[in-house]
Amino acid sequence: MNSENKLDFPTDSSIAREYENLRLKPDASNLDPHRSHLLATYADMYNELLRRILPITAGVISEEQLERILRRGVIPAFQKAQEANRDPLTGLPKRNVLKEITGRYMDLIKQGIGGVVTFVYIDIDNFKEGVNDQYGHRQGDEILRIIGGILQKVKRSYDMVGVAQEKDRLAGKTAEGDEFGVVFFGTEETPPNKLKQRIEDELKSYEGISGMEAIGISMGVAKFDSLSDQKMNADDLIHNADTAMYHAKLISGSKVKYVGHIPGMVAPPVIVKR
């Protein structure tokens, strides 16, 4: 990788300019600790993402072309997630950021880079009746923060976890904020059962918290690769994962359940209470 190349970030991005200065001058001391940590995390994520994607681009595009694609597309989207657009309750990126990251990763595949994008749609079963109605919204908020923290813990550095449905208690609104999304990109399919097992293991450490005994986790998985319909967009992929999640809700007997999307599958004619 040519360290002399300048980053091709949008010119109006102040954090990008700071990141470039930090990269070119590692001993810079004029940044406050919080900003330095943010930029260092940003740099680590970029380097790890580049390292993971490089093996599948060999012979397809040059390393310089890959860097340019990442810096103009995927990385600014991650930057947006770190700077703003966060859910105030969980601190996770909002749905619009998840959608943008998903679309950026799909664009990489459409440009011939290869790999697979996996979107996992996650819903907390029995959240309204088992937690909010029994223990109150304050405890419900705590459960949401716990689940959000678990998802952050089990993901990789360059995967994105966010809220798929934002909490809103304004008059006339019914959203409970109990739906999350995880976007994966890699050289191979990310086994959803591995994610399922990690979530199950983490949930065990919170068994004594009021309301945790009443809930379950349903996950719907949808994937996009070079063999998928290339006319699909991020909305389509997220919809497929959402549809699969509703099918997972019909499975009983497991704390964490998942269903992979089947092409042509439609949501079952059932009402899932919120």
User: DSSP labels for 89-138?
Assistant: TT-PBPHHHHHHHHHHHHHHHHTT---EEEEEEEEEETHIIIIIHHH-HH
72 and 157 in a common domain: no
Residue 133 has pLDDT above 80, yes or no: yes
231 and 144 in a common domain: yes
Lowest model confidence (mean pLDDT) among 16-30, 42-56, 109-123: 16-30
Q: What is the pLDDT of residue 168?
A: 46
78 and 136 in a common domain: no
| Residues 6 or more apart whose Cβ sits within 8 Å of residue 28 | 21, 22
Number of domains, the chain: 2
Q: What is the pLDDT of residue 5?
A: 31
Q: Which residue has the tokens 């998903």?
A: 102
The token duo for 230 is 């290339």
Mean pLDDT of the chain: 72
182 and 79 in a common domain: no
The token duo for 56 is 């599948």
Q: What is the pLDDT of residue 136?
A: 93
- Which domain covers residue 119, as residue numbers? 114-274
154-167: per-residue pLDDT in tens?
887 667 889 987 54
Of 214, 230, 87, 105, which is closest to residue 163 (Cα–Cα)? Answer: 87
Residue 58 counted as domain residue: yes
190-245: per-residue pLDDT in tens?
567 778 888 888 988 998 899 999 998 999 999 898 888 899 999 999 999 999 89
241 and 132 in a common domain: yes
Of 17-26, 80-89, 90-99, 124-133, which has the strongest mean pLDDT?
124-133
Distance from C-alpha of 55 to C-alpha of 51, rounded to nearest angstrom: 8
Confidence of residue 74 (pLDDT cuts 50, 70, 90): low
Residue 163: strand pairing partners: 180
Q: What is the pLDDT of residue 174?
A: 38
